[in-house]
């Protein structure tokens, strides 16, 4: 069916009157709007749903959400026959998140599944924790993470507290696709199967975070360290301040203008701590109060952005690669100092597009470091595979996500804020800022300049453009980037690693993914990856150079940044 036929098909079914009116408005309006709303199904991908809220098969609404939950319910009932099936549900601050949580609860319960739903908005990592704590088979969080305010989403989890992975993700997708009529969705809630949860899970979650402190004495020494925190109108306000207080920090200043949860995100353009603009108010407060550390979380509090005082006397933002490198360095150094480092049983994990400085630090401590595809569900898969004799002690990715332990199985900004604050306190006790520590790392291991260039292409045409760009890069791969010869190409779609110098090819041991990586003679890594959650293609640049002293950090950074611009020109990204 084309978009108009699909809209008319919906209109002819027994659906809510407001949805019918919205469909009729689309049918009477511009064809482009109708097409965007109905040209395809809102895809239940490997992590769930994410899309613009509104009427249509390609929008987040009661019925697309209902189909996803019905499909997941069907799969759970087939997978665990004759067992009590329990699920947990959390939701964030976004418009309609509470309503979507109610719909999700209703459909699960109508299918005979026990539902634990948080009584108020809570961070995504607490949902992961609740699944494991309550013995659930699955879970859902209603969030679109850091997307613009028009979006909402639905992330599905399995019994280990991680987002669904093969074979479950593909099997759930098949069940969702098998729902051919909106009347297949069971919306009549069984309220006897729905139970509200709250403070008891909060306490257990916070206690688990407190137990993760590597050096409580370091916190006690600098417990009055001046911390500025912003939740950017999201769920972080519910858990981050209590976590810092429980650890003993006594001087936490909240950005009041952004403390109230609000799905319109009135003080920012994008509610994303990766965007400098979103931290404008936090930076203002940090400078006014002469703070030591600034931390800000995204709407569902799985990502955290930070800033610290630089040598120029101003607060400077750090990127996600710098943050995960600092956390890896602190974790390994502190464990070695305290005698809790065990390289025969412990390990760390990062994603393939993240900085290799992380790997380099791990190698210096002889700590095993595994690389996975982008996404914490793959980090969680590694944890699941190694669970038992091996201990996960930290892992992260460049997009401002970190997980300090296996207590949760998704990126955890609450636990990360606790560890970052401890790390900053430890640095201050030595008369240093986090920027000073980072420059120490650069002096030891070389300067790493890591950046990411996202290119947005919306709608049907945009998806085609992104697909065409990846095909072009595969068909005409660059032989040189930024004046540096390309020596290795890794194509995660074909699963082949090709050495351009020897002509040899080897099969990589990774799941199939639409990612291309180019490695140069001098150690640069350039990655291209279409986003799985946004209408974007992302280009990641990771360049490095050795230095002989801290005085060379800034000049080296400048040279590497200029080199990235050359690579961008070589890939024709400015003209595309």
* Catalytic machinery residues: 145
Number of residues in the chain: 576
In the sheet with 346-351, reading across from the earlier edge strand, the strands are 369-372, 346-351, 391-397, 401-403
Tokens of 441: 């790392």
How far is 101 from 89, CA to CA, in rounded Å? 7
The backbone region for 290, taken as left when phi is positive above 0, alpha when psi lies in -120 to 50, beta otherwise, is: left
Dump the DSSP string for 237-268.
HHHHHHHHHHHT---EEE-GGGTS--TT-TT-
Burial category of 29 from C-beta neighbours within 10 Å (exposed 0-12, middle 13-18, buried 19 and up)? exposed
The one-character DSSP state at 217 is: H
Pairing relationship of beta strands 227-230 and 252-254 according to DSSP bridges: parallel
362-370 contact pairs (CB < 8 A, 24+): 362/328, 362/332, 364/444, 364/445, 365/332, 365/333, 365/336, 365/341, 367/332, 367/341, 367/343, 368/343
CA angle, 235 then 401 then 136, to 5°: 65
Tokens of 58: 């390609």
How far is 412 from 205, CA to CA, in rounded Å? 11
Q: Quick check: 526 and 541 in contact, CB under 8 A?
A: yes
How far is 116 from 194, CA to CA, in rounded Å? 6
Q: Where are the beta strands (DSSP E) in 231-368?
A: 252-254, 293-297, 304-309, 315-317, 346-351
Tokens of 240: 């981050």
Query: Who's near 203: CB < 8 A, 6+ residues apart?
Result: none
HSE-up of 478 (CA within 13 Å, CB side)?
24
The one-character DSSP state at 355 is: -
Separation in Å, CA 405 to CA 339, 392, 416: 18, 6, 10
């Amino acid at each position: 069916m084309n978009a108009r036929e699909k809209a008319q098909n919906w209109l002819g079914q027994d659906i809510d009157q407001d949805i019918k009116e919205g469909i009729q408005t689309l049918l009477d309006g511009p064809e482009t709007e109708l097409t965007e709303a109905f040209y395809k199904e809102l895809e239940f991908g490997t992590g769930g749903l994410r899309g613009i809220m509104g009427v249509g098969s390609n929008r987040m609404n009661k019925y697309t959400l209902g189909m996803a939950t019905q499909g997941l319910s069907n799969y759970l009932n087939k997978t665990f026959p004759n067992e009590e099936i329990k699920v947990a549900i959390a939701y964030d601050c976004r418009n309609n998140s509470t309503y979507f949580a109610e719909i999700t609860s209703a459909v699960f319960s109508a299918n005979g599944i026990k539902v634990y739903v948080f009584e108020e908005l809570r961070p995504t990592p607490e949902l992961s924790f609740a699944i494991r704590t309550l013995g659930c088979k699955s879970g859902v969080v209603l969030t679109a993470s850091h997307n613009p305010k028009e979006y909402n989403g639905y992330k599905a989890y399995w019994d280990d507290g991680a987002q669904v992975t093969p074979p479950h993700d593909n099997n759930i997708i098949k069940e969702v696709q098998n729902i051919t009529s909106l009347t297949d969705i069971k919306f009549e809630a069984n309220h006897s199967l729905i139970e509200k949860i709250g403070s008891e899970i909060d306490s257990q979650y916070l206690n688990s975070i407190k137990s993760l402190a590597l050096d409580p004495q370091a916190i006690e020494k600098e417990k009055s360290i001046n911390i500025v925190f912003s939740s950017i109108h999201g769920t972080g306000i519910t858990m981050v301040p209590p976590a810092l207080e429980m650890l003993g920090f006594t001087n936490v200043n909240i950005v009041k203008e952004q403390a109230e949860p609000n799905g319109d995100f009135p003080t920012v353009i994008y509610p994303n701590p990766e965007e400098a603009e979103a931290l404008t108010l936090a930076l203002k407060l940090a400078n006014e109060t002469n703070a030591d550390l600034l931390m800000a979380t995204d709407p569902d509090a799985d990502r955290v952005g930070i800033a610290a005082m630089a040598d120029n006397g101003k607060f400077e933002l750090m990127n996600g690669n710098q943050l995960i490198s600092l956390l890896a360095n602190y974790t390994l150094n502190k464990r070695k100092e305290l005698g809790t480092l065990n390289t025969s049983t412990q390990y760390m994990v990062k994603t393939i597009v993240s900085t290799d400085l992380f790997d380099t630090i791990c190698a210096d401590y002889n700590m095993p470091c595994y690389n996975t595809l982008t996404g914490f569900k793959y980090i969680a898969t590694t944890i699941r595979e190694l669970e038992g004799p091996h201990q996960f002690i930290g892992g992260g990715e460049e997009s401002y996500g970190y997980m300090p332990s296996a207590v949760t199985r998704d990126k955890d900004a609450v636990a990360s804020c606790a560890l970052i604050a401890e790390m900053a306190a430890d640095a201050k006790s030595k008369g240093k800022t986090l920027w000073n520590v980072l420059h120490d790392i650069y002096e030891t291991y070389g300067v790493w300049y890591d950046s990411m260039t996202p290119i947005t292409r919306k709608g049907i045409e945009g998806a085609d453009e992104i697909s065409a760009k990846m095909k072009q890069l595969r068909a005409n791969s660059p032989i040189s980037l930024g004046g540096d010869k390309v020596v290795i190409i890794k194509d995660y779609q074909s699963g082949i690693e090709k050495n351009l110098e020897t002509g040899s090819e080897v099969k990589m041991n990774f799941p199939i993914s639409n990612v291309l990586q180019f490695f140069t003679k001098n150690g640069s890594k350039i990655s291209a990856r279409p986003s799985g959650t946004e209408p974007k293609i992302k280009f990641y640049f990771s360049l490095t150079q050795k230095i002989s002293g801290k005085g060379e950090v800034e000049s080296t950074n400048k040279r590497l940044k200029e080199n990235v611009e050359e690579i961008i020109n070589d890939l024709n990204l400015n003209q595309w």
